[in-house]
Amino acid sequence: MKERILRGIPVNGGFGYGKVAIYRPELPTIEKRTITNEEVAKEFERLEKAISSSKEDLEKIYQKVRTEIGKDIAEFIQIQIAFLTDPLIIEEVKNFISKEKVNAEYAYSEVIKKYHAFFLSKETPVFVDKGAEIFDVCLYVIEKLQNSDKIFSILKPNEKCVLLARSLTPMNMAILDKNYILGIALEMGGKTSHVAIMAKAKDIPTVVGIENLLNYGTNAQEAIIDGNRGILIFNPSEKRIKFYEKEKEELAKRRKLLTIKKEAKTKDGKEIDISANIEFLCEAVTAKEYGAKGIGLFRTEYLFLSKRNLPSEEEQFTIYKEVAEIMKPYFVIIRTFDLGGDKLIPGYQENNPFLGWRGIRFCLANLDFFKTQLKAILRASAYGSIKIMLPMVSTVEEVVATKKILNELKEEFRAKNIPFDENIDLGIMVETPSSVFLANVLAKICNFFSIGSNDLTQYTLACDRGNEKVAYLFNHYHPSVLRLIKETIEKAHKNGIWAGLCGEMASEIFGIIILIGMGIDELSMAPQFIPQAKEFISLLDTDFCKEVAEKVLNFSTAQEVIRYLKKRLKKEGIALERYSYV
């Protein structure tokens, strides 16, 4: 069969090759059976038994995920257990059985269909995910009622395969065994979806957002998934298979060797702090294994989005404390909730979320919400080196207001003899042009800057990177963006604070050269890119990087910058293809 290449969104790196397995969850044929008054009680009993058995299974899955990955990710399963055992839904199903005089499986499916349709009609990622989770629970209960395991068996294969599906739920992901599921390809999903989060935690190569995936995959026999480049290849040629086998082997060797390298130093001895971007506890362990010198960005939004409501102070404290203890003696930068934008706030919609109620704006408008998180962070700071970072800062007043709240909480802690780090650092993400122009002022009231190159690019070039019609404009090598980055670093140093960068640019070879040349102090990236970034830095000389950085600032377009960098790397004898996805 002819080779076919499909492209999507890469959410977890690595390569996988195996037979194609397609997961198409559909309600089985459910016979509508009329029952007598005397049989109603028996159907109630069957329903309760199926729900009880499903709950036992899900609780085992919950415990497995909690033990192997972390209790933060296990919360996704807890949400499904809560829906499964919701007394109002169970009562509604029983009323349907009693009133319509029908069998339990038919009644259950009819009631759940209504909830499923409601959530899908909302057409927002949060509600669509919720609808999928509800449907998942429904299938599980139906299979119990029918004494079947047909639907979920594809998720537990006995041979190695690449799994294709329209979407997967947290429960589906929890079932998967990475020894048999060598890759995941989905039609739906994004970088912040449940699947993306759990794929990272399980370290399964994953690509999402592939259009017409199941149509193309129906007749495919084998597939290669490239989670670094966001590619899925059906019916790969022998040449293609050999290429990926070699690349997988070389990558494994390099990662094994490079995890031993503790420092990231240029040829002339300049040390760069390499830290990791994480969302989950298990990623902190991976980051340390790969040699991270800290956590440069701990995204906390999932704590809210996974539960659909505010996690308690105790829940947050436990997670922050564990990450701090895992990363000792290195620092952990906790970004306060960056809700809004592409991380939709449940129950709230606006016409332009990227320019609306997001990040620090949302937090300062919801003080109880904000204070709960700050209290948890302060408590955790007694157990390790923790720093606080504010997202989406665009005015000086936002930082001043936060410092006032923080000082009030510190006074409260002192009065109650609650231990915390008296000298905890407060920094900001520099991701708006206004924060760059105000950097001289902001640097006097902050302890550090972390440049969010993704949003800074988006706001500087006035383009939504998620909008395919203007996505071509999004390029962090545009000279206007590079000039803002250089200005931020210079103003930070002028005022005696350090500057890092935690966007995608931090792990890219062109970005590393330019940023070192501009004097960056820290680069924060996905854990899997750390060994390769360290290797690449060891090939560089700071004078070379400074020369390149000065040169690119004089260009007019991103294309000129990239062409120049390619030529210079070739001239220096550095093989570009070796770092093609770094």
- Out of 138, 161, 502, 545, the active site residue is 502
CB 475 within 8 Å of CB 558: yes
Is 568 a known ligand-binding residue? no
Dihedral-angle region of residue 101 (phi above 0 means left; psi in -120 to 50 means alpha; beta otherwise): left
Give the type of residue at 206.
T
CB 294 within 8 Å of CB 272: no
Task: Look at the block and give the residue holding tokens 């909302």.
Answer: 122
CA 544 to chain centre: 34
Starting at the earlier edge strand, list the strands of the sheet with 4-7.
4-7, 231-234, 222-226, 15-23, 161-165, 181-186, 206-208, 9-12
Q: Report the distance separating Cα 9 and Cα 155, nearest Å.
A: 22
Q: Which residues pair with 294 in a beta bridge?
A: 331
Complete DSSP assignment for 29-55: P----B--GGGHHHHHHHHHHHHHHHH
Task: Look at the block and give the residue holding tokens 């904000």.
Answer: 370
Closest listed residue to residue 170, CA positions, set 78, 299, 53: 78
Length of the chain equals: 582
DSSP state of 203: T
Is 431 a known ligand-binding residue? yes
Give the type of residue at 195.
V
Closest listed residue to residue 112, CA positions, set 197, 187, 25, 23: 25
Q: Is 138 a catalytic residue?
A: no
CA 30 to chain centre: 38
Is 46 a known ligand-binding residue? no
3-state secondary structure of 280: coil
Q: Is 282 a catalytic residue?
A: no
**With helix as H, strand as E and coil as C, how does 468-493 read?**
CCCHHHCCCCCHHHHHHHHHHHHHHH
Is 465 a known ligand-binding residue? yes
* Torsion on CA atoms 152, 157, 162, 167, rounded to nearest 10: 10
- Out of 116, 194, 476, 478, the active site residue is 194
Is 229 a known ligand-binding residue? no
Task: Look at the block and give the residue holding tokens 């912040």.
Answer: 192
Look up residue 58 and give its two tokens.
């899900």
Task: Look at the block and give the residue holding tokens 């600032």.
Answer: 553
Q: Report the distance separating Cα 393 and Cα 60, nearest Å.
A: 43
- For the chain, first and last CA: distance in Å? 32
Is 299 a known ligand-binding residue? yes
Q: Report the distance separating Cα 509 and Cα 328, nearest Å.
A: 29
User: Binding site for Mg(2+): what residues are annotated?
Assistant: 431, 455
User: Binding site for phosphoenolpyruvate: what residues are annotated?
Assistant: 299, 335, 454-455, 465
User: Binding site: what residues are annotated?
Assistant: 299, 335, 431, 454-455, 465
| Residues labelled as active-site residues | 194, 502
